[in-house]
Amino acid sequence: MEDYILLGHGNGGKLTAELIETCFLPCFKDPVLNTLQDQALLEIENHRIAFTTDSFVVDPLFFPGGDIGKLAVCGTVNDLAVGGAVPRFLSVGFIIEENFPLEDLKKIARSFSRAADTAQVRIVTADTKVVEKGACDKLFINTSGIGTINEGIDFGSHKVAEGDAIILSGDIGDHGIAILSSRKGIAFETSVTSDCAPLNLLVHEMLPYAASIHAMRDPTRGGLGTILNEIVQQSGFGITVYEDALPLKEEVRGICELLGLDPLYLANEGKLIACVHPDGAKELLSAMKKNPLGKDACIIGHVTKEPPKKVVMETRVGGSRFIDMLVAEDLPRIC
């Protein structure tokens, strides 16, 4: 373990996992937190509640396809949605650097509100702090969210089973590329926009098939490669992914080739993956395709018994290799 925090400790990959395990979990010691899901599933007097929190430090604040306001709503809504919860209430905290343009703040607040309307969640409590110049970079936002979980819904890595189909809701890497394209220093022109969207609208279509769904996650920071590794670590099974089956925009693929990026580790903000009983996969897939957020949904792999706790890719030419968690810092402050 490093003596000081590096940017990589925030990339959602191996260093983040190491930090959580060695610094936070031993102090907080809570069985719900220890499950390391995207949301805490709680039971309060027979009511099942999902609760989550997320902070947003994206740079730049405005990017193709969204801004920090929309992202702050979608990020938290999505963490609730992939737990099978119906997102209901949001809190929001703004940390603003002095001299930040009010016009930009208003723009972000309006975008935040629009996204909340779309996601059908209410913003019920908020906080504002201003810090001196240099104490934060322009604007950071924290949101927390509460959702309710209907009876009979129980998603989690503990339910993943051999043979499960892995369904991905659409193209990967759009958010990562959109942010990269607007970054100072490496800006380039592309038509790729962030996929930032509230996934509860898609999950709503999926819930009638909840009995077949074993686990659901959203591959944000750290990308698809990292989230698949989290699933195998937590479930003890393996996963085989087919390189041929991975949905990827031609432009994203080209930019990745040029810049030496691996789309498996690029961030997404409007995609989910589901581990689904093979008998229910087809039905669920056609339900997902009816929603614009799931129109490109497809099966990208399967849960296997061997090798345990490993993600394997069957390559296009017929070889096989492992997919590891994100290690190096690919790109900081993407969300």
Partner 1 sequence: MKYLDEFRKKEPFQAILSKIKSLPLTEISLMEVCGTHTVSISKSGLRSLLPPGIRLISGPGCPVCVTSLEDVDRVIMLAEEGRKNKRYIIATFGDIMRVPGSHSSLLKEKAKGSDIHILYSPADALTLARENPEKEVVFFAVGFETTSPTFAATILQAQREGLSNFSIISNNKLIPPAMEVLLEDKETTIDGFLCPGHVSAIIGTAPYQRIVDRYQKGCVVSGFEPLDLILSTYWLMLQKRDTAPRVEIEYSRVVHPEGNAKALALLNQVYDIADASWRGFGVIPKSGLVLKDAFSAYDGTKKFDLPTPEVATPHGCRCGQVLKGMITPKECPLFATRCTPTNPVGACMVSSEGTCAAYYKYEQ
Q: Is 7 in the site for partner 1 (CB under 8 A)?
A: yes
> Quick one: how far is CA 195 from the chain centroid?
11
Q: Is 134 in the site for partner 1 (CB under 8 A)?
A: no
Binding-site member from 26, 31, 152, 319 for partner 1 (CB under 8 A): 319
**Among 145, 178, 171, which Cα is nearest to 245's?**
171
| 98 C-beta neighbours (distance < 10 Å), count | 11
Omega before 278 within 30 of 0, i.e. cis: no
- Residue 214 or 221: the one with the smaller Cβ distance to partner 1 is 221
Q: Are the beta carbons of 333 and 267 closer than 8 angstroms?
A: no
Binding-site member from 48, 88, 138, 253 for partner 1 (CB under 8 A): 253
Alpha-carbon span 294 to 274, nearest angstrom: 12
To the nearest whole angstrom, how small is the minimum distance from the Cβ of residue 14 to partner 1?
A: 5
Q: Is 254 in the site for partner 1 (CB under 8 A)?
A: yes
Mask 137-176, x = binds partner 1 (CB under 8 A)? ----------------------------------------
Binding-site member from 40, 136, 161, 327 for partner 1 (CB under 8 A): 327
Q: Which two tokens stand for residue 263?
A: 């789309």
Binding-site member from 22, 34, 286, 320 for partner 1 (CB under 8 A): 320
Element (H, E) at 227: helix 223-235
Interacting stretch for partner 1, rule CB under 8 A, among 54-62, 135-143, 247-255, 269-277? 247-255
Backbone dihedral region of 240: left (phi > 0), alpha (psi from -120 to 50 degrees) or beta?
beta
To the nearest whole angstrom, how small is the minimum distance from the Cβ of residue 110 to partner 1?
A: 34
Count of chain residues binding partner 1 (CB under 8 A):
31
Q: Which two tokens stand for residue 30?
A: 């809570």
Q: Are the beta carbons of 202 and 288 closer than 8 angstroms?
A: yes
| CA dihedral sign, ordered 29, 235, 84, 59 | positive
- Residue 210 or 256: the one with the smaller Cβ distance to partner 1 is 256
Interacting stretch for partner 1, rule CB under 8 A, among 162-170, 192-200, 275-283, 308-316? 308-316
Interacting stretch for partner 1, rule CB under 8 A, among 37-45, 197-205, 229-237, 311-319? 311-319
DSSP 8-state secondary structure symbol assigned to residue 326:
P
Q: Which two tokens stand for residue 206?
A: 């999926």
- Which parts of this chain interact with partner 1 (CB under 8 A)? 1-2, 4-8, 14-15, 18, 185-186, 250, 253-254, 257, 259-260, 313-322, 324, 327-328
